[in-house]
Amino acid sequence: MDTDVRVIIEAVPRPGLSAQRLRQAIAEHPGALAALDVADPARLAVSFAPGLGHDPGDNAPFRATVFDPVGNRAVELRGTLDRPERAELRPSADRPPPSREELVAAAAILRADPRFPAGDDVVVYRPMPPLADRENPDGTTVRRPTLGLYTPGEPTGLRHRIVAVDLLGRAVDWTPSGINPRMHHDCEDTVPEGVDALTDHGGPDQVRVRVLRGGTELWNLLVVRPRASAPQNPGVGGGVELRDVRHRGRLMLRQAHVPVLNVEYEEGTTFRDDVSFETRFNASGTDPVGWGWRLCDRPPRTILERPGTDAGGFQGVAFHHDGGELRIVSELAAGWYRYASDWRLGDDGTIRPRFGFAATRNPMTCQVHRHHAYWRFDFDIEGAGNDVVEQIDESGSLIPEPVTIIRETSRRRRHPAKYWQVRDKSSGRGYQIHPGPFDGTADAYGVSDLWFLRHHPAELYDGDPDSRNRAMLNRFVDGESINGANVVVWYAGHYYHDQAHPQPHQGELIGPELLPL
């Protein structure tokens, strides 16, 4: 790290309802427990409920999904932080992915099953999909987390099996319906870490990060770790989330994250991936605010930089300044997928969002598939409002004329569009959005490449209403004016993976380049 640069990290509390306060509000709510047919609020799964909007105060709105794992049902509360017990109740189809505790409990039930294979080399891991719930004749459903069994010594060649575990009934379904049956494939080289190795030792959810060169403050921002990133409840996180991003004292981004991440196989299987489940990678340095936050003395190394191993000594968010930019990185797990959530903040104000793709041994990823990552950039150039979006086309002119986009819309990355920019109408400051060289163009499943929207606090998550996990961001496009408004840009990167015919860029990170105006 450049000795002239200082990176200062401080823990900062988040505005919102703690899990304890939310549980108390449920107990005091006149209809919440009745709606779920639950008498004891202690059995419900709840988590932190952040305040919505810019600079949320004590009376800011919130949304929270309250889940009953026994009844496998959920309701959504919509209210204000100051009176959560008066929140509006709505039915919810949200089913959160299994927690670490559920996975460990399921693994114990699986190992006690007499059909569990013998051998010291058997690994119990997180597969896809994460749930294989069963519907009863009366319409109720049973929550069943899935587990993968990797058995390299299996004499029949059946390297992978995916089972479903009923935690309440303490039963294992060895052939759950709806699971892709092709388990003889053995894709990738990295042996997965078992579910028992997955731990969370606490630590702050959010920190303030300042980068100073001499007496000049280059960057000042909040960083939220993936496990607490928005959107959740409903939603599956957004990777490493940035908030209130200021460069040289000027506000540029209010929020930046990846709320939607999905994958589609050419044979038809699709998944919506968890972007909040932290896994381990290599990062050496000091922990200035406790577990889960590391200031590195050398570049951190995720599975992309150290192929062949799924192990590591650190879990959380790592920071490293190389003399020209600050790198903020974490590694995520969604079943057998491994993702690098990566941000690079240049001293000159350039922002390079990056997302990388890898996997541990599994029966699926050697089939041709495409990953789609959707960044959400809430631009607040010089403050909320008064921003304008412009498209710059390849026109042959030395000084191309920007075309103002005045209403909500979506765009593809194709000729004649060259890049886009968001700027403050008064000062002219802002950012150009230049597509990355490996970001591709959307197919029918990927939907589109960019969306330009007016800011609404609740539009953090598309609701995943589509049965094939497709990004449903077009539901936010309703013709509102974005000329002189508070602007949000969604940007999609599309990663094509054909293990039999690798492309030159495979193993690289995808993502755009945000250049300051």
pLDDT tens string 435-488: 999 999 999 999 999 999 999 988 999 986 556 789 999 999 999 999 999 999
Residue 449 corresponds to which amino acid? D
**Sheet with strand 351-359: strands edge to edge:** 285-286, 293-296, 317-321, 325-334, 337-346, 351-359, 513-516, 430-434, 417-424, 387-393, 403-405
* Residue 499: predicted pLDDT: 76
* Residue 11: predicted pLDDT: 97
**Sheet with strand 88-92: strands edge to edge:** 61-68, 73-80, 88-92
CA 306/CA 310 separation, integer angstroms:
9
- Residue from 41, 51, 83, 48 nearest 65 by CA: 48
Whether 38 and 71 have beta carbons less than 8 Å apart is answered as yes
Domain definitions of the chain by residue range: 5-92, 100-184, 206-278+370-516
Burial class (CB in 10 A: 0-12, 13-18, 19+), 175: exposed
Strands (E) located in 231-386: 241-247, 250-265, 270-272, 285-286, 293-296, 317-321, 325-334, 337-346, 351-359, 369-379
SS3 assignment, position 285? strand
Cα torsion angle, 35, 40, 43, 45, sign: positive
Chain centroid, CA 10 distance in Å: 23
Whether 244 and 54 have beta carbons less than 8 Å apart is answered as no
CATH code of the domain made up of 206-278+370-516: 2.70.98.20
CA 67/CA 44 separation, integer angstroms:
6
Ranges of residues in the chain with a pLDDT under 70 are 1-3, 155-156, 180-184, 464-467, 502-507
Angle at 28 between CA 22 and CA 30, to 5 degrees: 120
Burial class (CB in 10 A: 0-12, 13-18, 19+), 366: middle
* Residue 437: predicted pLDDT: 92
Within 8 A by CB and 6+ apart from 17, the residues are: 25, 48, 49, 62, 64, 81, 84
Q: How far from 97 is each of 65, 100, 235, 512, CA to CA, in Å?
A: 13, 10, 10, 29
Whether 334 and 386 have beta carbons less than 8 Å apart is answered as no
Cα torsion angle, 212, 218, 222, 223, sign: negative
* Residue 504: predicted pLDDT: 56
Domains 5-92 and 206-278+370-516 share a fold: no
* Residue 387: predicted pLDDT: 95
Main-chain dihedrals φ then ψ at residue 76, nearest 5 degrees: -110, 135
CA 509/CA 501 separation, integer angstroms:
18
pTM of model > 0.85: yes
* Residue 104: predicted pLDDT: 95
Whether 70 and 168 have beta carbons less than 8 Å apart is answered as yes
DSSP state of 435: P
Residue in the structure block whose two tokens are 């089939």: 367
* Residue 502: predicted pLDDT: 66
Asked, as a colleague might, if the bond just before 231 is cis with ω within 30 of 0, I would say yes
> The domain 5-92 is classified under which CATH number: 3.10.450, 3.30.565, 3.30.1380, 2.60.40?
3.10.450
List beta partners, residue 264: 270, 370
* Residue 181: predicted pLDDT: 58
The tens digit of pLDDT for each residue in 112-168 reads 999 999 888 999 999 999 999 999 999 999 999 999 999 988 766 788 999 999 999
